[in-house]
Structure 1
């Protein structure tokens, strides 16, 4: 019996030893499994559960079950967790095998704070992380900025409607040849500010330059912008080609009732427009009529009323009553046949705008208002804020600005040829019929110099300075036309010296200078040509008298 007990005890001890050995082997296998998994994680981060080399799937599963079921002490867990955390920190990447580890929430790991892991639903520690909604995110702080009241774009949005930007003061236009004391300066400045007129590329306005019919049509279109009341035929005017620079303006002026052509269906666009035609055009376009007898109205207001053509009586009288007419320098002298200057054209257009109610009348204290003809306008004037000007300021004298080649009261400057018929004397001026070259060079509104040469055996040079009168109406053979008289004086020089003296010998003493007197008339033919006739007397030792007749070509100036 003792022997049987001893054998059973031996078997029991053997089983106990086997159990102890088995537990030790299981722990060792767990450590090996852990090390293998860590090494596999380094080599293959994408594999969740790498197999231990040399084992089957079944053994790997067994080892996993053993790992999860085998109890560990707190000390063993801490010892095993420490190297894992160190590994994560050193590689700056989480190990796939540690999905349930709380390491991503450790605030000392900057790599996990910026990683996109918060969107992974399998990480409960990071699912509740408040990082996406934290106020420290610059993107979330600036997102609502466009709707905040501090946006500069919303604060400055109503700026374009500010009154100071929508109603700027009209800038002054300074023309180099229009001084502040020029008689028409208020008219010119007012229309230039409205962009109704323009100057030349050199900065000049050329206020004394005559205006052609085409230019006046263009000024009407630009300043008044009239509406059509009739239609021009498709053929138009025979002397206005479709590509002519002023063709649209001429059409607009005709269709609005301001200007008309001639009976032969011509417009004569390059002809200088007389003042009476310009006034007639404005009166027609504005539909003005005289309130009484036109002849009596003209006589009441103009000293030269007899020069107004009969066809323009009603229009000029109506324009006078409507305060359209502007006369400088004498308000009672109309000069109806004198070519209209640019300054006069602007003054009359300004008065037309006053009639239309588009601009205010000039205050009575402005000097230019003193040249407006007619009854006082029925418009309440704003009381002046400046001191009452002196009489000298309200009626300034004509400026003595010499402009060689300008038009005068008697028409345009010209150069021409003709024939001289001698009446008495021994020089070519007074002897026989000779070829003559003559000219007119305007200097001031009323003065010209008219150099001429009579060519023959004893060529005679004439240099008179003339006073040019305004146009007058003449009637011949039931035709009415305009003439511009002139008178003057200067010097006459007879050259050549082949004259016989009183003793029968030759007088070869060269040039002979004498006093020259001249008187004549200019007759405008077209805008480009002027006919002239004059009588000249050169007082030398012998008085030479001759008459020449010719035609000159007009030019606007030098």
Structure 2
């Protein structure tokens, strides 16, 4: 495993939501690796075939590699066609993402649509690793966060032994992906604070693709509103 860069004590605010931020990684598109459970090869094949994610130049998917914010932005644009929405023409100032950066256009799109937000001082931290809670919450933001009551959210998440470790800003979004069956727990845990791997995201995307339904701009939720939750 490569060197682990950063400190978990650095705190940034995303539109009022506290998020523990890892220190920014080296400007390298390849993200660090860590051992993970084997991911479903069929899920990976499905996602690659749909062109939502791609293999590396060596022809392998590398599901164990960690997902960066820039990679997540690109995946969200492809999955939900964010660039086809009514996106403002004015670019967003992002100090650490120059126009020459490989994911510049996608990062601009997620910022303009509000699917993701930058940090203070106009920073995006494109190479920062994404936690499972953050990755699932951003996916839910693009999908449409179900506006469950707090009691309903607590009930949905109560079956997971690590539910209390889910950050408060992510609980409603995580409850959405759990309810929709997009996420699979590992032995009764969601592991919200662990880094999200490419395999983790492929699993979520595969479940989404398996629905074979139109993209739900306004999904119907019994007993709840579907207005997106702010914060990403």
TM-score bracket, shorter-length normalisation: 0.5 to 0.7
Q: Say yes or no: does 1:236 pair with 2:93.
A: yes
**Equivalent residue for 1:273, pick from 127, 130, 145:** 130
In the alignment, what sits opposite 1:264? 121
Structure 2 residue ranges without an equivalent (≥5) = 1-36, 216-232
The superposition leaves residues 122-148 of structure 1 with CA deviations (integer Å, 9 ceiling, x where unpaired) of xxxxxxxxxxxxxxxxxxxxxxxxxxx
Pair 1:248 & 2:105 matched: yes
Please give the per-residue CA displacement for 1:135-177, whole angstroms capped at 9, x wherever unaligned. xxxxxxxxxxxxxxxxxxxxxxxxxxxxxxxxxxxxxxxxxxx
Aligned to 2:176: 318
2: CA distance between counterparts of 1:349 and 1:188? 9
The CA deviation string for residues 299-340 of structure 1, in whole angstroms up to 9 with x for no partner, is: 13x11001101111111112211212233x42x211111111
Distance, in Å, in 1 between the alignment partners of 2:124 and 2:58 is 30
SS of residue matched to 1:264: helix
* Per-residue deviation, 1:258: 2.4
The list of structure 1 runs, each at least 4 consecutive aligned residues, that deviate by more than 6 angstroms after superposition, is none
Say if 2:80 and 2:142, in contact at 8 Å, map to a contact too.
Answer: no
Aligned to 2:199: 343
Aligned partners of 1:228 and 1:255 also within 8 Å: no
Matches within 5 A, 1:141-290: 182-226=38-82, 227-228=84-85, 230-231=87-88, 233-290=90-147
Per the TM alignment, residue 233 of structure 1 is displaced from its structure 2 partner at its CA by 4.9
Q: TM-score, normalised by structure 1?
A: 0.30
**How many Å separate the matches in 2 of 1:228 and 1:263?**
26
Task: Give the number of the structure whose residues are more often strand, by fraction.
Answer: 1
Higher RCO by CA contacts (8 Å cutoff, separation 6 or greater): 2
1:212-235: CA deviations, max 9, x gaps? 100111122233322435537534
> In structure 2, what is the Cα distance between the partners aligned to 1:356 and 1:239?
37
* 139, 152, 156: which one aligns with 1:297: 156
The runs of 5 or more residues in structure 1 that have no matched partner are 1-180, 360-558
Larger Rg: 1
Kindly indicate whether the alpha-carbon contact (under 8 Å) linking 1:197 and 1:223 is maintained by their aligned counterparts in 2.
no
* Closer/same/farther in 2, CA of residues 221 and 346 from structure 1, 3 Å limit: same
TM score, norm. by length of structure 2: 0.67
Q: Distance in 2 between matches of 1:220 and 1:289?
A: 18
The 1:232/1:298 distance shift into structure 2, 3 A limit, reads: farther
- Contact persistence 2:148–2:172 (CA under 8 A): no
Distance 1:338 1:196 in 2: 23
The Cα of 1:265 is off from its aligned counterpart by: 2.5
**Local SS of the residue matching 1:252:** helix
Distance 1:295 1:192 in 2: 35
Q: Distance in 2 between matches of 1:183 and 1:234?
A: 37
1:108-507 equivalence runs, <5 A:
182-226=38-82, 227-228=84-85, 230-231=87-88, 233-292=90-149, 293=151, 294-300=153-159, 302-327=160-185, 329-330=186-187, 332-354=188-210, 357=213
Q: Indicate the SS of the match to 1:220.
A: helix
Give the CA deviation at 1:356: 6.7
Cα distance 1:213–1:356, how it changes in 2: closer, same or farther (>3 A)?
Answer: farther
